[in-house]
Chain A
Amino acid sequence: MHSFAVRIGRISYRIGSPWAAPIAALRRLYADYPAPEDGIATVTARIGPPRPWRRWIRPQVAIEGDHSLPDTVPMAYDHALLAIEMAMNMQVALGERRHLLIHASAVERNGKALIMPGDSGSGKSTLAALLGERGWRLLADEFVMIDMATGMAIPFPRAISLKNSAIAEVEGRIADPARFGPYLSNTPKGELRHLRPNAQAIARMDEPALPALILFPSYGYEAASDGVSRSELFMRLTEGSTNYVALGQPGFDRMLQLAETVPSARFAYPDSDSGIAIVEQFCAEAGL
């Protein structure tokens, strides 16, 4: 078994694979990240062949770890890096109990966090990746972790998952090719390429930020914006949280505090430049 241990924010992973190449790709993607404190990882994520012969004959990868979902479809070996990333996501989505999880990307400036929830294709990852290169610090791409005791957004700067047209868009704006993972074609999520967050995001991964603005982006439409009511905000944040129910009343109280105190809006945008301009305008009004 080949393995790699890495700390990303408050999560320390032990990642295993019977194949060497996916672990080597993961090491390159997470170069510069720290090892788990005291060498102790708290979360295990693995990939492995769904049947013994699938290690060699038309190899396939299944997603495994401390937590797993039944009926997860194995993936082609060529997509093993994506499978590892999904295994890492799954452990957090299903196992995390110390933080309230919000399905969103997030960036920070002056100690304040802009949180951008959204479904796949909403542009939340691309916007966060681009903002992270222009004066903001990337906090998270997929999961925003809200500290249950303090309500602060805890950084979880995993590799950013760029999909389809977002790949060329971000490649054109970030000069360092070493920050990009391999190009993965025809994955279940389309074309895909991972981006390592910049050095600042990694170096400051232990600095929380105060949630100050929540924006719901929608990519591919005429520019428009609208307010989001407190009740809708509560509902949409809970819909996108994989551990809200498991946290019980403390999760309810923490989610309510977010919905009652953090201003929120939705906006549509046709391209990244106009999306960034709209975000900056909202942030100026909200004092970020």
Chain B
Amino acid sequence: MNKPNIVIVHGAICGGCDVALANSEEAISKILENLDLAYWSVAVDSRLSDLKSLGKIDVAVFMGGVRTSEDEELAKWLREKSKILVAFGSCSAYGGIPGLAALTSPIELINLVKSTITTSSQYKSIIELPKLPELSTYRALPHVVNVDIVVPGCPPPIKVVNEFVNVLLKYIAGEEPIGPLVIAGSKAQCETCPRKPKDLSKLQIPSIKRIYEAKIEENRCFLEQGILCLGPVTREGCEHSCINVNMPCTGCFGPLPGFEDVGLRYIAGILALVAVEREKELMEQGLAKILDKLVDRLGVLYRYTLPRSRLYMLKLSLEGSEYAR
């Protein structure tokens, strides 16, 4: 068989990306038609040893973040062996939801597990724990190795998966990969958002509300209603699956080209607009109180991108981490 082969490998992942890939009939049938599926532990019967025995790999799709020493080793090995390496899904591309745990050190996590273990002490000596891969500092895949294609989304929507497979087939046909190619638009969500504010140049955010506090009107900009929506700083291309069901964008498509830190950009651009008409009267009695309504700062501003943020890089470099950039 002379088909080029493809391997689909996991790091720290929930499994949603596998479903997203399998769910897209067009994409999966194109993959099976044009490529030899050599390894995909959740879909075909294959072991890690089968993967390691492959001489060459044409396409490697990495899903999930880099959480353990095993993930890191695998990612580096794949970069060495494969022609095209794909970061599939937000965890892989930007860190994703598990990336929120990056601020808790591996040592702290292990201590927590050890201190709250429920097995009574008399059995402690009997139970032999299996040898687990070591927890390492959580990183997104592009932080560990260079990637050729980035497929964002949590999970990537069908349209994006199809687009990705088309790009992939072009590359296989002989086109050279040009840098990390992100399968998403390069404009903000707001450009294509069906909800438009009354006057974009005078966008007003009266206060900050949490979702349960507000009766969210349909067809009206979330920011105007005081709901923090990450649309202004997020790439478009997801067809607004959250916005269409009356939920604000949480930013799974990652930062727009030109900056890496979604949170800082959001503070500079959008949070500075909060209560913009009442600043003078509020300054004395509680402009800060309005901002305090944003309780879960990391969860809102960095839900999918914390391990790629500049503040995280600053933290790593101050810790003297070998992964600092």
Task: Decide whether A and B assemble into one complex.
Answer: no
Q: Which residues of B contact A (CB under 8 A)?
A: none
Interface on A for B, CB 8 Å cutoff? none
